[in-house]
Chain A
């Protein structure tokens, strides 16, 4: 297996990259290469031009900007995994990243590449959905921002034009003390999840949930928020079967049928993954680890 012939371009600035995108026909952007390179090796894609972003200056950084974590598009997943800033205030990222591929792929894979590849099972795409992240896109007319809710327009298709590229993504901050959990079911460690759940919770300090974000990945054409589950737990002090009953609504979510699993199985997994994630997140919110030890 060899990539098909192409012309190779390695711009040094975002402006140069945008210029190339605007002037070249049939060009593909190469970020960390952990998805595009296999597709080239298989010749699933045969672009005339490859625009390699690995030498573009200023696209790799992690910083707090206002009340958000701003991450440059070419930041390696490894850097995010080992970021003290991210781990202190966005701890779900570390938990999710440990389930993204393997050390060898996280050393190369980038956050921008993952978001633009937009695999419906990708952990980072689920986090961007759960946080209502904002994507910064650069094009010939300068920069624009896209809310992540508007980012997926179809299966593996982001809302960016052919002459645009993603330069950064911002994850808003949750309360200093919040609950979080990323739980997924995959056949092998490091595989894309068949179904995953990402949960963020805030509370009133007395056990009541005041804010909730529940995202299910691997079900439809892109990860989506389980709004019914969120509404069912907000304002509640969890007791009895609250989480179990709240998560039953996941059976109504749209799910794909494919070689990995039928839709009904994914819907079942969604109820289980979301319940486990809620239990784990709530235990972290309230500082009791007992929730984690409960039988599933």
Chain B
């Protein structure tokens, strides 16, 4: 093992203090050291978008960050999206019901990317959704059902937001 550093960060609301090799990417850190294998690694050079996580609420490619750079930051991975172990997030529910995934490899990146996008743009057009996921490669569905899922999720989330408490 090469040079290491001690880092402290929050992942999906849980605090971690870990010793990490400085050359390890954030993607490998969450997968191998924290065991959160929901974050997928496709290309490992910032093209496929499968490893997208949220860093302090903003999407980032975790293969293009070092784990040491996440020291002191707040990370959300796909494991942290659902409200509980037996309840899906409306975005996940929309993917489930609209056949928004086939093999599922790109799904973690699609979901994290769309969490940020639908937060910033709750009522998007189809074209805006297509641009939002343009940095995420899917080799199964041809994107059609992913776009349908995203638009359906937007509708569900808007409904949830306007529902009286």
Q: From the candidates B5, B24, B25, B60, name the one contacting A108 in the complex (CB within 8 A).
A: B60
In the assembled complex, the Cα of A103 lies from the Cα of B109 at a distance in Å of: 12
Chain A interface bracket (under 10, 10 to 19, 20 to 34, 35 or more): 20 to 34
Could you tell me which residues of chain A, from 21 to 52, have a CB within 8 Å of some CB in chain B? 30, 33-34, 37-38, 40-42, 50, 52
Please encode chain B, from 56 to 80, with 1 for each CB lying within 8 Å of some chain A CB and 0 for all others: 0011110111101100000000000
Are B134's CB and A190's CB within 8 A? yes
Contact (A1, B134) CB under 8 Å given A8-B68, A104-B52: no
Q: Using known A-B contacts A2-B23, A104-B49, A107-B59, determine if residue A33 contacts B64 with beta carbons closer than 8 Å.
A: yes
A105 touches B66 (CB 8 A): no
Bound complex: CA A248 to CA B122 (Å): 45
Judged by a CB distance under 8 angstroms, whether A163 is at the interface is: no
Q: Could you tell me if B116 and A103 are in contact, using CB atoms closer than 8 angstroms?
A: yes
List B contacts of A190 (CB < 8 A).
Answer: 134-135
Q: Is the CB of B52 within 8 A of A1?
A: no
Please tell me if B87 contacts chain A, counting CB pairs below 8 Å: no
Contacting pair A102 B135 (CB below 8 A): yes
- Minimal beta-carbon separation of A212 from chain B (angstroms): 30
Q: Output the least CB separation between B6 and chain A (Å).
A: 13
The 8 A CB mask of B112-123 against A (1 = contact, 0 = none) is 010011000000
A5-B23, A6-B22 are known contacts. Are A41 and B44 too (CB-CB below 8 A)? yes
Give A residues with C-beta under 8 Å from B.
1-8, 10, 30, 33-34, 37-38, 40-42, 50, 52, 54, 78, 101-105, 107-108, 188-190
Task: List 15 contacting pairs A-B, 8 Å CB cutoff, sorted by A.
Answer: A1-B44, A2-B24, A6-B22, A7-B3, A10-B68, A30-B66, A33-B66, A34-B46, A37-B25, A37-B64, A41-B25, A41-B45, A50-B66, A52-B68, A104-B113
